[in-house]
Amino acid sequence: MGRDTIADIITSIRNADMDRKVTVRIASTNITENIVKILLREGFIENVRKHQESNKYFLVLTLRHRRNRKGAYRTILNLKRISRPGLRIYSNYQRIPRILGGMGIVILSTSRGIMTDREARLERIGGEILCYIWVLPGMKEQKWIHEGLITESLPNGMFRVRLDNENMILGYVSGKIRRSFIRILPGDRVKIEVSRYDSTKGRIIYRIRNKDSNN
């Protein structure tokens, strides 16, 4: 499996923002240039310039800093990869998620190029959901705990889960469940932790035993 270019640039930008760096350099490709144009247009970054070094081209991004009377005011730039080479996520224009009620954006790859969720709804076209991007003041991410039923086992430790509210989401195992080699099978009831910013997938944190559900 080849490298995930989009995941690489998301990680580079996120790490630079967390380390309070002013600039970050990423490889210049057609897809990275299109994504960076959206970041610049939507105000998530301050500036971008193209740089050549040893016959290779790079994009140098200037991250955005807000200021108040007390000096620099840091916000957290949140970028989250959604569709991946091993698990593609697609959506029609009517079901594209709204991030923080429209405060964030979804970037999609469509038949008419890479665009934001707002542009896709206007054009009435769906596509592959590449990533979510939003900005909030530094705070701990809020998450919800749901219960649901495992309906299908997928590759790479992923599962399809039907929540008690009838929503279908993707679940993955990590942390204590993975370390303890707890086996998850279709038909098991589980508790799943879902981010308020991405309700399409969540982390399976507990397998509910029969006596737990009976209580």
Q: What is the pTM of this model?
A: 0.60
Q: What is the mean pLDDT of residues 131-149?
A: 76
Neighbours of 62 (CB within 10 A): 15
Q: How confident is the model at residue 197 (pLDDT cuts 50, 70, 90)?
A: low
Residue 140 has pLDDT above 80, yes or no: no
Say what the pLDDT of residue 2 is.
61
Q: What is the mean pLDDT of residues 2-24?
A: 86
Say what the pLDDT of residue 211 is.
55
Say what the pLDDT of residue 141 is.
54
Residue 188 has pLDDT above 80, yes or no: yes
Q: What is the mean pLDDT of residues 56-81?
A: 71
Task: Name the token pair of 182.
Answer: 């707890």
Task: Name the token pair of 117.
Answer: 């969720």
Residue 115 has pLDDT above 90, yes or no: yes
Share of residues in the chain with pLDDT > 90 (%):
43
Q: What's the CA gap between 112 and 127, in Å, rounded? A: 9
Q: What's the CA gap between 95 and 126, in Å, rounded? A: 9
Say what the pLDDT of residue 72 is.
45
Q: What is the mean pLDDT of residues 92-113?
A: 89
Residue 190 has pLDDT above 90, yes or no: yes
**Would you say 123 and 93 are in contact if contact means Cβ atoms under 8 Å apart?**
yes
Least confident of 16-30, 38-52, 132-146, 181-195: 132-146
User: Bridge-partner residues for 137, per DSSP?
Assistant: 75
Which carries the bigger pLDDT value, residue 194 or residue 81?
81
Q: What's the CA gap between 122 and 138, in Å, rounded? A: 32
